[in-house]
Amino acid sequence: VIDVAVSGLPMRRTEVFRLQHAELSGHANRLEAVLTVSALKGNEGAVRDALTSFSAVLSSHAAQEDDRLYPMLFNHANPQVRSEARQLHADFGIIYSAVEVFIAVWSRDDALESEPERFIHEATGVISTLRQRIARENDELYARIDAL
């Protein structure tokens, strides 16, 4: 089934997931904008709110991939597609768990205030990891799905 976008042109099968990636990237950009001690100071509540929003978007995206995307790939006729899907899904489980811990730690009251340098370091790593994952999904997995 091919969805038709508002323009009347066919949408890629992965368009919704790609749009979610763009939304996640926007959240990452907003977090990056405050990754200095001076920018954090006095804005800790807003940063915690941004982490909560980021977490909600990421959780929704992961659930949709788990419900709609990966089952199709796990049962695909092509063994290479099945194998790649299993590997990516396993990798993401590790990444997602790390992000959950990161958000839980830094969403606590006073965590940002007490260790801003550590938050900046960890946030930079999490954002980098997620950007790499998003690029890999967009460029490899989603490209393969759209070509099916």
What does the block give as tokens for 122?
């960890």
Percent of all residues in the chain with a pLDDT value above 70, rounded to a whole number: 93
| Residue from 104, 106, 97, 94 nearest 31 by CA | 106
CA separation for the pair 89, 31 (Å, rounded): 25
92-116 pLDDT tens trace:
888 989 999 999 999 998 999 999 9
In 3-state terms, what secondary structure has residue 10? strand
pLDDT for res 4 = 45
- Angle at Cα 3 formed by Cα 18 and Cα 60, nearest 5°? 40
What does pLDDT average to over the chain?
89
pTM, whole model, 2 decimals?
A: 0.84
